[in-house]
Structure 1
Amino acid sequence: MKNTDNPGAPAPASTRLAFYIFGTLLGLSGLALAVGGVRLATLGGSWYYLLAGLGMLLAGVLYARRKPLGAGLMALVFGATVIWSLWEVGLRFWPLVPRLAPFLVIGLVAAVLHPYLAGGRQRGLSHACAALFGLALVAGGASTFVPHGVMHATTEPVLDTPATTAGAPQDWQHYSNGPQGTRFTPLDQINKGNIDKLQVAWTYRTGEIAEGASESQNTPIQIAETVYTCTPLSKVIALDADTGKERWTFDSKPANDKTWNRCRGLGYYEPAKVQKPFQFADLAPAPRATGGVCAKRIVQVTMDARLIEIDADTGKPCEDFGDKGSVDLTQGLGLVDEGVPYYAYTSAPTVARNLIILGGWVFDGRSTDEPSGVVRAFSADTGELVWAWDLGNPAITKLPPEGETYTRSTPNMWSTPAFDDELGLVYLPTGNQQPDFWGGDRPALTEKYSSAVVALDMATGRERWTFQTVHHDIWDYDVAAQPALYDVPDGKGGKIPALIQLTKRGQIFLLDRRTGKPIADVVEKPVPQAHAEGDWVAKTQPYSVGMPALGAEPLTEQDMWGATFFDQLMCRINFRELNYEGEFTAPSTRDTLIYPGYYGGFNWGGAAIDERNGYLFLNDIRIPQVVKLVKRENVDLSHLKSGHGVGSTYPMDGTPFVIDHKAFNSPLGIPCQSPPWGVFAAIDLKTRKQVWERPAGTVQDAVINGVRANLPIPLGMPTLGGGVSTGAGLVFYAGTQDYYLRALDIATGEEVWKGRLPVGGQATPMSYVSPRSGRQYVVVVAGGARQSPDRGDYVIAYALPDKE
């Protein structure tokens, strides 16, 4: 090799060293790819990594020896990589990044070195190539800050006539504003023309940091001039709606604070405003409070399973309710605590006329003998039990007979119901039967209620209809989202009273809420039939083909991703090694992939509907999990790490197995499948077509292996909580992994405003107009995003400046 300034001189030592280092690194990279490529090819995967690795290995040897043939071979590998990448994933940006970015870096270095390899010749070509590679890297780097995979709106929303907002409540009285679960308010003081002026109006600190087993997921309610919020450890706080100043606090002092602390919402009951109270033939008529003590009542359910009513004006317990203000919800359940409490209620109580309707949260995966999933209704005046719906014994309509319990381990209803007061029906989203991932002993009677929507007569608690979203659910695909009630066009100029049910599977079922019959087509499709010893699987599963599904496409090897081509290769190998035949691959004694996964799809945050135009706003999660059944005799049960979700083991007492859970991540701790890992989207309920979609949030505040990203790259992250839609055509959302409250234009999905939060959030925002000041507020509870180390205790209200 010649020096380029003096072709007759030998290459300087620094140049030889540069080639040696470059060639060695290139060769070692190729060797790693080739070794991994052999494993992938033997698993039936792509041969690309083996062939490309061999090419890089040979090119590295040639470069180390300063042979020009190395450049030609590397050019061939690069060209083949481009062709292979486009063949696998087309022009999709994020899937191309780990495939092409490493070769752009290699190409840049090779182009800079090339004149020394060519004996001083081809300097112009080398510089041009170096510039081209450099520009491609700069352009690619800049493109990481631009949302990709965006589906743009191509139609304008059509407003309903007459408007569907007539009669909307003035107070935010229910968890989702109204009993229909649409999370819609007709308020439009804050709109697209002035939202750039939105600012923090007040902040309140509860003093309780959501740490350990706690998550801060509360959506406050607002009655007149007071906002009511609750903490994970069951404190209730009343705040001035205009200033955030504390009016009173009530601490229920729950006995349990070690398991699963949440308070997603409160209920409100005002006896004097109930126009048509239910009449209970076997209960003495309750006194109708019209003034004085407890004329207005806050309804709370605690983490140690108590139903409490509190005077909304004073924060004192309502002494005429239950036992001095409290009802014990463990009555009739039998054993509820074996060192770890197995029963609580984490969602908002449902107050319908003069009833309080409750389900219960049951600790996942513990045993085949857990507390019942019974659903009960209590008198909102006295706390007396009005009816009970025992899913395993319809003969029990109140308390079970003396010495007996409600049927153990039935499917439960841990989320939030919706109700139609005119039809007199309450709609229950049910969970799957315990212990979640093995169901060989489940009785036929309760099977029909697992992972379903069930309509009960509110007055009697008797079943009207049931629609099941998963048959024999052994994947924890329980129905987490509150049903949303909205009337849709019937195609003949009329309306059908519909129920929209989101599921963890990413399926959206559109049902007639009078009968439970599908409005949008549902078909039964065959599913894999392999299953664990002693269990069984359904031959078919329901698919809502008449509605769009989000994130429901089966994963393939081509979907595997990574920050580099090394961890992408490992993800492809791991994917090929997994037991996976689609979303209904039954758990087995091999590592089994569950996707969309038991976090969703759509989780408890639910939908928001713009009632002006029938746009359904959605946010989803696209993070698979890996589970593995382990025979009990092979497990030291005394050292079992028994927790909840990813990273834990469910003991599943009473079955032949325990089950391990882990995330499907690359060696760098990044999800193995290509982003987005969460999206925002909208569906037009008139046309039943998806209107737009975009990644949900950025990695700015994500912490991976102790390192904070600090870059607002919009990969689209998993989300919790829901959105709230307003009469101004805005959707407010705060449950992203980065620390922002956002406002989106529901017509297009465009972000029109965002406000920085001190920590992340998981709660659904709410909005109200203060009757005293006339200002519209948007309120969000920020206690920390899921998987975030940053935790807080904030209740934050946003409003336009006073002068606006």
Structure 2
Amino acid sequence: MPATPNRPRRSSRAATVLLACLLSACASLSPQPLAETSGWSLHGQNLAGQRHAPQTQITPDNVGQLELKWAWSSGITATYQTTPVVVDGVMYVSLPGSHVAAIDARRGTELWRHRHVPRGGKLCCGPANRGVAVEGDTVYVGTVDGRLIALDRASGALRWDVTVADYAGAKEATGQLDREDALSKVGATGETGVGIGAAPIVHQGRVFIGINGVGYGLHPDQGLAVVGVAGRYGRPGLMAAFDARSGQRLWQFDITGPGWEGDYRPTTPDGLPLNRDLAAERAAAPAARESWRYGGGSIYASPVIDEAQGMLIFGTGNPSPQMADSSRPGDNRHTSSLVALELATGRLRWAHQQIPHDRWGYDVASPPVLVEARGPQGERIPALAQASKLGWVYVHDRRDGRPLLRSEAFVPQRNLFTPPQPGEGVVVAPGIAGGANWSPSSWDPVRELFFVGALHLPTRYTAHTVQRPDGSVLRYASAQDTPERGGTLSAIDLGAGGRLRWQLKTAEPLIGGVLSTASGLLFSGIGGGEFAAFDSRDGRKLWSHRATAGVNAPPVSFMLDGRQHIAVAAGGNALFGLAQGDVLLVFALPETASR
């Protein structure tokens, strides 16, 4: 049964004042226990999602010798976002379309493949999948059509297959738009629906997974264009727990529910004005009491687990309808939020909404990372850091969600929180893609650096009103990309109040994720097909490899036969115009240099 949403405590503005004194004076932030030092057994590298490899064989001094050990082609050319999972010398990867392959990590030869067959028709959200979970003798994957599948780890044979959520889609069409709107003359590549892109996480016999697509809007086949149409369609997002052996659903938390109107907040929690017409929203509320039933709140990234607090923590997406907000008055609570649930029951512990009544598609998409802070008196504070689409890293006390810190901006910002405008619209940065999108960050607990790959893609938001032949009125909002294009790779010093330690500006948007290592390296894709290593202290590029497709997936590190390996998928990203391919790349030092 769905858990009953509890009202999260309100954070005072005083609590959200940037507590630079807290984390600058404290500065020691220590790591969570590592899941495994030899492989990469969890999607986020450990339960805390830190993506900081403990291996030190590859260093700033020898990384220039790194060479390609093997490359494996899947035969499926499409957008790749997978994180390889490496256990006992076998690499498990999800492929576009939710297929799964097991690969010999020594030789790069395929051991088995599970071919997923979706049920029904058109997918809501494209074919990309972000990874699998491996626990014991089983591999788990969420699918593009909203299912959770368990496979035999040795053979790939299907063990069980359950539906997480089913929803046919909004059946929107670009043809209903204003005839003068250029977007009315193209087809659509996606629409509101249900899918699963995030990797599941397994803990103590439970598999945790959430759905996406429920606030997706209509995606015309033209760059990064998105259309949100006012109305009643969609459904609440959800996070659910399943028995790892049987697939039985144990609990479900619906992201939106009664009371989602909230407090009609005029500002973000850190005091930035949202430019809302609160009087009009309150007047519209009686006719929109059921709008929470279509409320959205997708989950785009794997959650993290705080074992000490017994909590599952994750981010949620924008409310539905996307951007076109007239049919959903109120704060639309628990959308565009950080949410913490009780592991055993799914009961809400706390929720912190980054953007009440989100009109810009500012999902909390990049996964949170668990860190530890020390307070002014030396006390330890269990905390989390999250790189937002807004362009700041937020740090919270993870016991109750209380804000502790907001970093310096890691992307340019302008016209932030200006609503969609009629006519020529308004250009807002960060745009609908962020900031930090779904790409995971990494955290170096010794150097106290939080690494973020981000996008600079300002968006033109336009409000439209169309008089239909039957006399009814269609209200919608569109978001379209602008000629500005780039990205940033940033090291943010949380021990120094969230200041930028260094930043690299790139010609292409950075989408995919980063990997830091204990030896002082940072790995990331940095453009159409370049995969590179940087000195994590100052951002100097030390090595790079030119791939045949965009490197737009998170890299990993693992030890095998006494040698450290770096693995990453090079399959590009169609949405951002980055060349597509089908290759998994594995690098290592020459054998003589590894001794």
Question: In which range does the TM-score fall when normalised by the shorter chain?
Answer: 0.7 to 0.9
Within 5 Å, give how 1:668-687 maps onto structure 2.
671=484, 677-687=486-496
Distance apart, 1:159 and its partner CA: 13
Within 5 Å, give how 1:437-586 maps onto structure 2.
437-442=323-328, 444=330, 447-520=332-405, 544=406, 547-554=407-414, 582-586=415-419
Cross-structure match for 1:354: 205
Within 5 Å, give how 1:704-715 maps onto structure 2.
none
Cross-structure match for 1:751: 541
Task: Pick one of 35, 48, 51 that aligns with 1:180.
Answer: 48
Residue 793 of structure 1 pairs with residue 556 of structure 2: no
Cross-structure match for 2:182: none
Q: What SS does structure 1 have at the residue aligned with 2:557?
A: strand
Q: CA offsets per residue over residues 747-794 of structure 1, 9 Å max, x none?
A: 111111111112112101111112xx1211100100124544632100
Percent identical: 28
C-alpha separation in 2, matches of 1:496 and 1:657: 46
Structure 1 counterpart of 2:491, one-letter code: A
Cross-structure match for 2:565: 777
C-alpha separation in 2, matches of 1:769 and 1:187: 8
C-alpha separation in 2, matches of 1:377 and 1:258: 24
Cross-structure match for 1:29: none
Q: 1:423/1:362 Cα in 2 relative to 1: closer, same or farther (>3 Å)?
A: same
Distance apart, 1:635 and its partner CA: 9.5
Structure 1 counterpart of 2:543, one-letter code: W
Q: 1:352/1:635 Cα in 2 relative to 1: closer, same or farther (>3 Å)?
A: farther
Q: What SS does structure 2 have at the residue aligned with 1:299?
A: strand
Larger Rg computed on CA atoms: 1
C-alpha separation in 2, matches of 1:162 and 1:759: 37
Q: CA offsets per residue over residues 365-413 of structure 1, 9 Å max, x none?
A: 2553113212211111111111111234489xxxxxxxx9993333222
Task: Pick one of 137, 150, 155 that aligns with 1:309.
Answer: 150
Cross-structure match for 1:375: 239
Cross-structure match for 1:200: 68
Q: Is the 8 A contact 1:619 1:722 kept in 2?
A: yes
Structure 1 counterpart of 2:481, one-letter code: A
Q: Is the 8 A contact 2:455 2:510 kept in 1?
A: yes
Q: Which runs of 5 or more residues in structure 2 are unaligned?
A: 1-23, 173-190, 219-230, 260-289
Quick check: 488-497 or 469-478, which moved more? 488-497
Q: What SS does structure 2 have at the residue aligned with 1:683?
A: strand
C-alpha separation in 1, matches of 2:474 and 2:157: 49
Within 5 Å, give how 1:260-271 maps onto structure 2.
260-270=126-136
Cross-structure match for 2:481: 663
Cross-structure match for 1:692: 501
Q: 1:451/1:258 Cα in 2 relative to 1: closer, same or farther (>3 Å)?
A: closer
Cross-structure match for 2:510: 719
Q: 1:357/1:407 Cα in 2 relative to 1: closer, same or farther (>3 Å)?
A: farther
Residue 728 of structure 1 pairs with residue 519 of structure 2: yes
Q: Is the 8 A contact 2:493 2:501 kept in 1?
A: no
Cross-structure match for 1:300: 141
C-alpha separation in 2, matches of 1:413 and 1:635: 38
Cross-structure match for 1:594: 428
Higher helix proportion, which one? Answer: 1
Q: Is the 8 A contact 1:257 1:303 kept in 2?
A: no
Q: What SS does structure 1 have at the residue aligned with 2:489?
A: strand
Q: Is the 8 A contact 1:695 1:717 kept in 2?
A: no
Q: What SS does structure 2 have at the residue aligned with 1:682?
A: strand
TM-score (norm 2): 0.79
Cross-structure match for 2:320: 434
Q: 1:738/1:481 Cα in 2 relative to 1: closer, same or farther (>3 Å)?
A: same
TM-score (norm 1): 0.59
Residue 169 of structure 1 pairs with residue 36 of structure 2: yes
Distance apart, 1:415 and its partner CA: 2.4
Residue 365 of structure 1 pairs with residue 153 of structure 2: no
Quick check: 235-244 or 435-444, which moved more? 435-444
C-alpha separation in 2, matches of 1:655 and 1:369: 17
Structure 2 counterpart of 1:193, one-letter code: D
C-alpha separation in 1, matches of 2:586 and 2:439: 20
Within 5 Å, give how 1:319-330 maps onto structure 2.
325-330=160-165
Structure 2 counterpart of 1:493, one-letter code: G
Q: Is the 8 A contact 1:696 1:719 kept in 2?
A: no
C-alpha separation in 1, matches of 2:235 and 2:316: 15
| Relative contact order higher in (CA < 8 Å, ≥ 6 apart) | 2
Q: CA offsets per residue over residues 516-549 of structure 1, 9 Å max, x none?
A: 11122xxxxxxxxxxxxxxxxxxxxxxx3xx212
Within 5 Å, give how 1:65-144 maps onto structure 2.
none
Distance apart, 1:605 and its partner CA: 0.7
Cross-structure match for 1:209: 77
Distance apart, 1:552 and its partner CA: 4.5
Distance apart, 1:338 and its partner CA: 4.2
Q: 1:692/1:310 Cα in 2 relative to 1: closer, same or farther (>3 Å)?
A: same
Structure 1 counterpart of 2:450, one-letter code: L
Q: 1:389/1:168 Cα in 2 relative to 1: closer, same or farther (>3 Å)?
A: closer
Distance apart, 1:436 and its partner CA: 1.3
C-alpha separation in 2, matches of 1:789 and 1:467: 34
Q: Is the 8 A contact 1:618 1:682 kept in 2?
A: yes
Distance apart, 1:201 and its partner CA: 0.4
Cross-structure match for 1:225: 89
Structure 2 counterpart of 1:757, one-letter code: A
Q: CA offsets per residue over residues 480-528 of structure 1, 9 Å max, x none?
A: 11001010221323321111121111122110000111122xxxxxxxx
Q: 1:470/1:337 Cα in 2 relative to 1: closer, same or farther (>3 Å)?
A: closer
Distance apart, 1:440 and its partner CA: 2.6
C-alpha separation in 1, matches of 2:123 and 2:31: 44
Cross-structure match for 2:295: 409
Residue 629 of structure 1 pairs with residue 463 of structure 2: yes
Distance apart, 1:187 and its partner CA: 0.7
Q: CA offsets per residue over residues 53-96 of structure 1, 9 Å max, x none?
A: xxxxxxxxxxxxxxxxxxxxxxxxxxxxxxxxxxxxxxxxxxxx
- Between the two proteins, the alignment pairs up a number of residues equal to 503
C-alpha separation in 1, matches of 2:192 and 2:449: 41
Structure 1 counterpart of 2:158, one-letter code: P
Q: What SS does structure 2 have at the residue aligned with 1:206?
A: strand
Distance apart, 1:355 and its partner CA: 1.3
Structure 1 counterpart of 2:591, one-letter code: D
